[in-house]
């Protein structure tokens, strides 16, 4: 059953979303164009205003348009104490990655388009990390081509969070299937989802849907 959907066709579809870092959101002919409004180190995170339960499937269309950069999804995000990630007692966040992977958040994050650094561009993988602590817990091949070769095509990304099990697929192709044994910390359950990009990536998004399993 669908519990949230968003066409992601323009900035108006981001009303209520919470930006951390300089997000440049524009309407494009084929979706929502997202990029950094700052310099080459001005990365950002954009949080959905809804909170979701533990057994969900998150899917959206993604199209890389200009590189280098990186795109990821945070999910199951809470504070370390299990409360809201927007609790005013938490330290401010501005898109800097250490604030998310080794700060005051407990979350999983799937990097499904990694082209920021030379080693990422020379060997394409999708990574799943668990925070706090930046633990790499799963990895799989990345089938999305560079922006030049994608040539405006959209790819359907799907993340399934089913209790201890996490799966990632792109255009229906399974990329990793991981089960949390809690070696790297407590099981992550319900919480927030958020998109993140590393500058200077430009990408288009559309048709976000969250459904229960």
Token pair belonging to 208: 């976000």
50-66, pLDDT tens digit by residue? 999 999 999 999 999 99
Q: What is the pLDDT of residues 164-193, one digit of tens each?
A: 999 999 999 999 999 999 999 999 999 999
Reported as a single tens digit per residue, the pLDDT across 2-56 is 999 999 999 999 999 999 999 999 999 999 999 999 999 999 999 999 999 999 9
Q: Is residue 199 part of a domain?
A: yes
- What pLDDT, on a 0 to 100 scale, did the predictor assign at position 70? 98
- Residue 62 has what pLDDT? 98
Contact (Cβ atoms closer than 8 angstroms) between residue 25 and residue 37: no
User: Which pLDDT score, from 0 to 100, does residue 113 have?
Assistant: 98
Longest Cα–Cα distance in the chain? 46
Q: Could you write out the DSSP letters of every residue in 106-161?
A: EEEEEEEEE-SSHHHHHS-EEEEEEETTTEEEEEEE--PPPHHHHTT--EEEEEEE
Question: Residue 25 belongs to what domain range?
Answer: 2-75+104-212
- 24 in a structural domain: yes
53 domain residue, yes or no: yes
CATH classification at residue 165: 2.60.120.200
pLDDT of 89: 95
80, part of any domain:
no
209: pLDDT confidence band, cut at 50, 70 and 90?
A: very high
Report which of 197, 155, 154 is spatially closest to residue 68, judged by C-alpha positions. Answer: 197
Question: Is the pTM above the cut of 0.85?
Answer: yes
In-domain check, residue 129: yes
Please report whether residue 89 resides in a domain: no
pLDDT at residue 90 in the model:
96
In a domain, 187, yes or no: yes
Report the domain count for the chain: 1
pLDDT for 36 equals 98
Average pLDDT score over residue span 64-76:
98
In a domain, 84, yes or no: no
108-167 tens-digit pLDDT: 999 999 999 999 999 999 999 999 999 999 999 999 999 999 999 999 999 999 999 999
DSSP letter assigned to residue 190 = S
The pLDDT, as a whole number, for residue 179 is: 98
């Amino acid at each position: 059953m669908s519990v949230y959907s968003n066409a992601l066709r323009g900035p108006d579809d981001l009303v209520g979303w919470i930006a951390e870092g300089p997000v440049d959101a524009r309407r494009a002919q084929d979706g929502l164009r997202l990029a950094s409004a700052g310099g080459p180190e001005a990365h950002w995170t954009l949080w959905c205003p809804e909170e979701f339960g533990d057994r969900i499937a998150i899917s959206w269309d993604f199209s890389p348009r200009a590189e280098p950069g990186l795109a990821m999804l945070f999910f199951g995000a809470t504070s370390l104490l299990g409360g809201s990630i927007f609790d005013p007692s938490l330290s401010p966040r501005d898109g800097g990655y250490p604030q998310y992977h080794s700060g005051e958040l407990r979350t999983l994050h799937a990097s499904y388009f990694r082209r920021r650094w030379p080693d990422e561009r020379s060997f394409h993988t999708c990574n799943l990390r668990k925070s706090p602590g930046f633990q790499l817990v799963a990895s799989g091949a990345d089938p999305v081509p560079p922006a030049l070769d994608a040539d405006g095509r959209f790819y359907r990304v799907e993340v399934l969070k089913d209790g201890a099990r996490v799966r990632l697929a792109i255009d229906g192709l399974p990329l990793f299937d991981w089960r949390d044994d809690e070696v790297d910390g407590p099981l992550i359950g319900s919480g927030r989802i958020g998109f993140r990009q590393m500058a200077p990536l430009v990408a288009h998004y559309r048709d976000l849907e969250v459904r229960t399993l």
